Every structure is written in C-alpha cells, then in structure tokens.
Structure 1
C-alpha cells in the first residue's frame, strides 16, 4: 500500500462521504473513487459499502482505518525523528522532552539539573502537555522522550525506566467536611454529592459521557475544585503545588502511580542515553 492511498482511504472513512473527503484532500472526486477501488482490488477486500445515498465501513474497512492511522503516524514520526537527527549532525543537537504540565515538577527539575552537569549534555526543550498528551507526542515523533504515569498512560511499545512510585490523594475544596478525615476510600468520593470526578479528553479530543465537568489540564481542574464543581484523585506530589483554597486527603485504595521515563526502543541518540542515565541515577 502507498501512503497516498492510506491518506485517501482515511479521509473517506472519517467523512463517510466521497465529496467531502475529496474537498478535504483538495482533489477531484473521480480520482479519489478510482484510488479507493484500486486499493480494494490490491487487498482483495471490500472496504466500503456504497450506495447512491450512503457510504459505510465494512469490518475490513474498520480494521484498515485503525491500522492505517497507526501506519501514517509511524511515517510522520520517522520524518520528524530523521530531521531532528540531521540537525544534531549539523551542530544543532537537542532533545524534546514531553511532560504533563504541573506533574512531577520537582523530579523534572532535579533531572534537568543532573543532566546539565553531564559531559556532552545538549539543550532539553520541555514540552508541557495537557492530560495524556505526552504519550501522543512521543509516539508521533514530536518528542524524543517523555515522563509518563502508569496506570494512566500506556507505555506499550516504549523502552522505560521507573523513576518514582507514589500514593494518591483526594483533592477537595478547603473546608469541605471530608478534609477533616485522616484518610478516605474511593467509595467515599464516588458517593459524594455535588463533587463529581472530572472528565478528561480521549486521544481524539472527545470527552466521555458523564456528570463531571470537562477538564483539559491541572490548572483548570484546580479552579473547578475550588469552585465546588468537582473533586479529583491525584498523585501525592500534587500537594507541593496546591492552592490555599484546596486540600488533600490520602485515599487508601487508590492505585499507586509510577512515573517512568520512556523513549522509542529503536532510538540511537547518545544525548537521549545520557538523559536516561541521569534519570536512573536520581
């Protein structure tokens, strides 16, 4: 398969309309239809069920939509990493590190200081991300390395080193009745009237259904909690940055959170290797 064919198919599969897909791609509709028919002949399967009025994905088409997106992401990632490697060869080395804004800031600060003291250290550009974005930046090649948090972020397909494991706390409005407790359990929070858990965006940017407010990042979340619109369960290190109008209470049965440094397994960057070594020594 050619990447051009995949891009054409994905546009049609997402729009489920050849006219809109052609407009989105900036091409005429007839060559788009021919390209999809050629792709189906090459694969020996039907990808789209078409009538004069409707267009729907077959089971095979649904599989190719998922696999095709992953394949194009890999191609784009290869493009970005190749260009970054070329910059390093021409005397402009650097690393892009993705991390969730407001998370593990003390660990990150120590890591950057430790790496800067290494012989041959290069500039590290820190990409501050919203919830869950750092994994996507690492997968698509915009980041060389990332700080991820299990069990919330997937580390599948990456090489990793564990850096820190911590318990979680419930973040509540200061003065709330539960802030006087020594500890809580998850059941105490799920039964809490008026303070639902927030809804975080999925990788495609959509929000799941539910009663809680939508939240994009930690700063927005803290504002929602302070206003009495939500509560949240976060790693214990968040205590260092809590506002005065918020309070934290340990949650005994919340899963522990492990911060890992993650990078593509095929990376051959000496600068990245030095950063990982500095991280594991901390």
Structure 2
C-alpha cells in the first residue's frame, strides 16, 4: 500500500475500531462524538477506498464482514501504537505548577504563561489560583513549584524570592469631594500625602487603606505593566 493511500485511510481507523465494539452505527457515532450520518458517510468512503465491504445488513442492524474482522486486530494495534507515541511526548515534557494570587490572574499571569509557551513549548504549565495564604501553603506543601503573590519576601522567609515589580495604588475620590473642589486645602494636603505613601509599593498598602477608610474614601489597586 502506498504512503498516500495509507494517509487517506488512517483518519478512518477509529471508525472501524468503534464499529468493532458492538457493531452498531448509532453507538459508534456516540463513541466518536459525531452525528450518525457522518459515520455512515465515512463508512461508505472507507469501503470505497479499500475496495471491500466492511459491514453487511443484519435484520434491522449491521454486522462486520469477514474482511472487517480480519482488519480489526491490526487497526487496534495501530491505534494503540499511535496513542503510545503521543503519550511519550507527554512524558518527555517538563511540567511546572504555578500558584498565583487571584488579583494577578487578569493580566500578569496570562502574559507570563504565553511568553513561556512561546519560548519553551516543551514545558507544560499547570495553574492553581487562590488567595495569597493559600498560594504560599501550596508552595510549602510541594504541590506547586512557584507562587506569585504580593509581599512574599517580607513575610515568607523560607525558599527563594524574587521581587517582580512595585504595584502603585491609585486614590479614587467622588465628584465634589473637598480634595477636588478646593473647599478644604488641609484635607487636600493630607490626601496627597496619603497618595504618596500608597505609591511607595505593596508593603505600604495596609497603612494607605486604613488612612483612606478613616476619611471615608476608597482605594483601588491597579496593575500597571
């Protein structure tokens, strides 16, 4: 058999395998996840290319012909060999399990994973998302290889840490607030000082939020970069 003819037949081998299970077109279609007419059409194409009948009418159903039964063991060996070949690729690929904080899942982590896959397609990435303490617990347990969280260097002495970036805080005030319309200059000054503290980095975030709450204002984190 020529390579071209073999290449034409290979996509149809799962069909013969499925028909061999219980010799029923509808159940074969369900096993393959395709409509029944698709199976019937593919079966006719396969018979045409092989030049032999693979099924015969048997009452209201079908049965495999002797030619199909002779082919079936070889078809299944070929499919198992193909699956083994695919499985060997998975075994050869390294897997990195990454835990990340919920707030980092919108922008940072997708960009990092996309860049890694572009540069190292041989590495698989499994993701675990949760709260900061949960990410660190996953790392400590050995279930993840890396954890990306805020402020880990200051509070998590075990393991190695790498500072990625500073996350500024942006102060958001409603329209007509004293800091906007100039009715209270001293309030404006206090809020400017609070904003400078908030922009110093992640470690100052609790202090900044507490100061803003005392003044009835709201703080919002915004990831830049």
Scaled by the length of structure 2, the TM-score of the pair is 0.39
Q: Which structure has the larger Rg over C-alpha atoms? A: 2
Question: Which structure is richer in relative contact order (CA contacts within 8 A, separation 6 or more)?
Answer: 1
Scaled by the length of structure 1, the TM-score of the pair is 0.32
